[in-house]
């Protein structure tokens, strides 16, 4: 193994790199630089998915395994420049407007412009307004520039990202923006690193997908184009905090979350659970009643159906600028996935042909 490779430092760098849904160019270049440590067989499809193939041992045809981890982040987009140079915006992905007031942002116009998200101060609001959440349409960005300067540098359609330095907290925890889902991209890299010391009999397609936050679009085209025998999505899930239900949120640093339920092939779920126990990897179990809201949704129903699994990293404060994870869960996710890939051979794939087996 390459002792110089440091997955945590790469993740910190990915967190600070812009890559809003549909505008993933910068983060894609960074991820590609890391994937090239494992393979030279890398391409982009027509929607921008970054696809790296790591070939297995043995004669062809080998089983084909798709790993999908979306690299896009939620962001904002300019909708109007108002009198005085104030910038109105809407969202690309699911921001909670309550978290935006007072945030530092970067408007990626002709040149990058730093600003803050402002609103009418509470002193100037009516008493009944103070009891309500300020709607997104009443927020604006103040770039502290004359209107003419704003008009020169910014136009409708420019992308906006939160400006937030990644933080290393105590006990292996990280916090910042875009951990949904750069944490899982890091887990995918950890998997590829772990695979170096294992005997792999499948061809692995490690895909950093695009536009997950606006409709799982990258996973649709990647799964269709690769046509894998097995698809595994990597994502984040809600981390346990005060007031959250134990069956909907999971404890950080208690291991990766193995998903089950209708969106997940039963035997893939069982294999992940078995391997986690055999290799003493901390893990948690989640059963979803329906679609998981991840790339697994799209993979499962592509073409004539793809046996699908899902591993998730517990994350607190999802879709805010202070998303928080424990990096040990990223490492555990990558290690468990590598052991799963090691266990896949042609006979395992042939046993996945039907969901309805007893």
Rounded to the nearest 10 degrees, what angle do helices 25-35 and 179-195 cross at?
20
SS3 198: coil
213 is in an annotated binding site: yes
SS3 327: helix
The question of whether 212 is a catalytic residue gets the answer yes
283 is in an annotated binding site: no
State how far the Cα of 308 lies from the Cα of 101, in Å rounded to an integer. 39
State how far the Cα of 99 lies from the Cα of 87, in Å rounded to an integer. 18
Q: Which of 73, 190, 212, 323 is catalytic?
A: 212
Residue keyed to tokens 């994350």? 315
Within 10 angstroms of residue 52's Cβ, the number of other Cβ atoms is: 23
SS3 121: coil
User: What tokens were used for 15?
Assistant: 């967190």
171, 188, 231, 314, 337 from 205: Cα distances, Å = 33, 11, 9, 24, 13
247 is in an annotated binding site: no
State how far the Cα of 48 lies from the Cα of 73, in Å rounded to an integer. 14
Close Cβ partners of 126 (under 8 Å, ≥ 6 residues apart): none
User: What tokens were used for 146?
Assistant: 């004359």
Q: Which residues are annotated as a binding site?
A: 70, 180, 213, 235, 319
Q: Which residues are catalytic?
A: 212
What residue numbers does the annotated binding site for Zn(2+) cover? 70, 180, 213, 235, 319
């Amino acid at each position: 193994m390459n002792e110089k490779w440091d997955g945590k430092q790469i993740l910190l760098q990915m967190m600070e790199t812009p890559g809003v849904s549909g505008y993933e160019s910068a983060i894609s270049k960074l991820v590609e630089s890391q994937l090239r440590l494992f393979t030279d067989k890398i391409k982009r499809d027509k929607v921008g998915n970054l696809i790296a193939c790591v070939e297995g041992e043995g004669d062809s045809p080998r089983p084909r395994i798709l790993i999908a981890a979306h690299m896009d982040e939620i962001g904002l987009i300019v909708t109007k420049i108002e009198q005085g140079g104030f910038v109105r915006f809407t969202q690309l992905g699911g921001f909670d407007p309550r978290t935006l007031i007072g945030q530092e942002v970067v408007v990626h116009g002709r040149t990058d412009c730093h600003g803050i998200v402002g609103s009418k101060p509470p002193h100037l609001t009516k008493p009944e307004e103070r009891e309500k959440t300020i709607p997104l349409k009443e927020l604006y960005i103040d770039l502290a520039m004359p209107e003419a300067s704003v008009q020169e540098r910014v136009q409708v359609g420019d992308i906006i990202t939160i400006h937030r330095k990644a933080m290393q907290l105590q006990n292996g925890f990280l916090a910042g923006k875009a951990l949904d889902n750069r944490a899982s991209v890091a887990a995918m890299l950890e998997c590829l690193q772990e695979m170096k010391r294992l005997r792999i009999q499948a061809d692995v397609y490690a895909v950093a997908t695009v536009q997950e936050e606006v409709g799982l679009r990258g996973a649709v085209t990647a799964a269709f184009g690769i046509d894998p025998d097995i698809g595994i999505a990597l994502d984040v899930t809600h981390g346990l905090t005060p007031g959250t239900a134990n069956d909907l949120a999971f404890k950080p640093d208690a291991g990766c979350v193995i998903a089950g339920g209708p969106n997940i092939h039963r035997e893939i779920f069982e294999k992940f659970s078995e391997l986690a126990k055999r290799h003493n990897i901390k893990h948690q179990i989640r059963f979803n009643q329906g679609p998981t809201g991840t790339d697994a949704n799209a993979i499962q129903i592509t073409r004539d159906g793809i046996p699908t699994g899902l591993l998730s990293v517990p994350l607190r404060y999802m879709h805010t600028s202070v998303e928080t994870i424990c990096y040990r869960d990223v490492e555990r996710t990558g290690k468990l996935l590598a052991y799963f890939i090691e266990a896949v051979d042609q006979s395992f794939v042939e046993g996945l042909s039907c969901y309805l087996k007893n």
